[in-house]
Copies of this chain bind each other. A is one copy, B any other.
Amino acid sequence: MAAVHWEYPVMVTAQMVTESATVTFDKLELDCGSTLAPVEVAYETYGALNAERNNAILVLHAFSGDAHAAGEGGWWGNMIGPGKAFDTDRYFVICSNVLGGCRGTTGPGSMNPETGCPWAMSFPTITISDMVRLQKQLIDHLEIPRLLSVSGGSMGGMQALEWAVSYPEQVASAIPIATTARHSAQQIAFNEVGRQAIMADPDWCDGNYYGGKPPANGLALARMIGHITYMSDQSMREKFGRRLRTPDQFEVESYLKYRGYKFVDRFDANSYLYITNAMDDFDLTTRGALPTLFESSRTRFLLISFSSDWLYPSYQVLEIVSALRSRNADVAYCNLEARYGHDSFLVEVGEQTELVRGFLNNTFKEELRRGNEGTRSVRA
């Protein structure tokens, strides 16, 4: 059913085995009723799957991330590796580019096999749950019966929650970080302004810019807005203050422009539209009150929020924690003192590392105990 194309040879770094691959699946049925056929997934793995196949952790990237989570330039390189929070000496870490993305997984920039042209805005509407369903195909393909953990920040946290709700038997634990069970009006509003910026760019051409000039101004603008929301007032004051870059330009202005236009080189504007829409539409509570969703969950949870994160404020994580606690779920929660705002889960990882390391260690012990009990009950 799945043909695997190894894009790069297996690389053995000094300390960490890294694999990078793309797998093609026959099809993926979407929440909107459409079917994508075929569908490609780009992913990377770090470390080795053990013989028991019970040490696999799926790491889920945020909105603008990709499958390259660890190693040089990896978006969570400070969290994944030998001796790090997600310790590749012990665990097998997997990260795939999300559905709708532009970094190897099928998205609006991919070829529509029926037309031979890029999908562009004819790409079907996608949801966080579609993204997770595709990840489930990948995990099945890798013959991993149960994940030791699913973890990610921001949109990655939404996917972790979706995994826990949709496949409770397949996830021993979940670590949703700086995230929410549903976007607030403010979160939707910031995404919407980004979308409007892209669509107001004449180079967007209703999404049909492939092969031509991409809507660079619009996408850069959207990214600039994003960057402000990812930082905190404090971290911006510390990083830029009122320092001037030129007599007519503040340092912070030059930084935002630089980051905005740099983003254009690696991200597709239509993916921006589709993925932010998926985030905005995500709302676990449409499937029932949060406590009922976790009614019979035996998944262990570690949730983390950050004091200076005003884009995904801690009350949103607390809402999930309260729901889990009301059902006596196994849940740990910490609101970490941090200065870097929403970006803290990517850059201020000291305490986060301690929390995740301990939690995974206990989860792994629990899984080994569970495995032994399972073996005993089979023998009995």
Query: A-side interface residues toward B, CB under 8 Å?
Result: 182-186, 188-190, 192-193, 196-197, 200-202, 217-218, 220-221, 224-225, 228, 231, 233, 236-237, 239-242, 250-253, 256-257, 260, 280, 283, 310, 313
Residues on the B chain within 8 Å of A313, using CB: 233
User: Are B242 and A192 closer than 8 Å at their CB atoms?
Assistant: no
Instruction: Determine if A228 and B186 form an interchain contact, defined as CB atoms under 8 angstroms apart.
Output: yes
State how many angstroms separate the Cβ of A341 from the closest Cβ of chain B.
10
Interface centre among A192, A201, A236, A251 (most CB of B within 10 A): A192
- Smallest distance from the beta carbon of A238 to chain B beta carbons, Å? 9
Closest B residue, CB atoms, query A203: B202
Closest to A313 in B: B233
A221 to B256, CA, bound (A): 17
Closest to A239 in B: B185
Chain B residues near A236 (CB-CB < 8 A): 184-186, 189
CB <8 Å contact, A242 and B201: no
Contact B221 A184 (CB under 8 A): no
Query: Is there contact, CB below 8 Å, between A228 and B182?
Result: no
List the B side residues contacting A250 at CB < 8 Å.
185, 188, 192, 280
* Known interface pairs A186-B236, A186-B237; 6 further A-B residue pairs with C-beta atoms within 8 A, sorted by A's residue number: A184-B236, A186-B233, A188-B242, A192-B224, A196-B220, A196-B221
Q: Select A185's contact among B182, B225, B242, beta carbons within 8 Å.
A: B242
A329 to chain B, nearest CB (A): 25
What's the minimum C-beta distance from A220 to chain B, rounded to whole angstroms? Answer: 8
| Contact indicator A185/B241 (Cβ below 8 Å) | yes
**Chain B residues within an 8 Å CB radius of A310:** 233, 310
- The answer to whether B283 and A185 touch across the interface, beta carbons within 8 angstroms, is no
The docked-state distance in angstroms from the alpha carbon of A220 to that of B192 is 13
Residues of B within 8 A of A186 (CB): 228, 231, 233, 236-237
Taking the closest CB of chain B, its distance from the CB of A288, in whole angstroms, is 16
Contact of A189 with B242 at beta-carbon distance under 8 Å, contacts A201-B200, A218-B200, A236-B184 already known: no
Query: Would you mind naming 15 contact pairs between A and B with Cβ atoms under 8 Å apart?
Result: A184-B236, A184-B242, A185-B236, A185-B239, A185-B250, A186-B236, A188-B250, A190-B228, A192-B250, A192-B253, A193-B228, A196-B220, A196-B221, A197-B221, A221-B221
| Cα-based distance from A193 to B221 in the complex (angstroms) | 7
Nearest B residue to A217 via CB reads B200
A257 to chain B: closest CB distance in Å?
Answer: 7
Shortest beta-carbon distance from A275 to chain B in Å: 16
Q: Are B189 and A252 in contact (CB under 8 A)?
A: yes
Distance of A313 Cα from B218 Cα, bound (Å): 29
CB distance from A187 to the nearest CB of B (A): 9
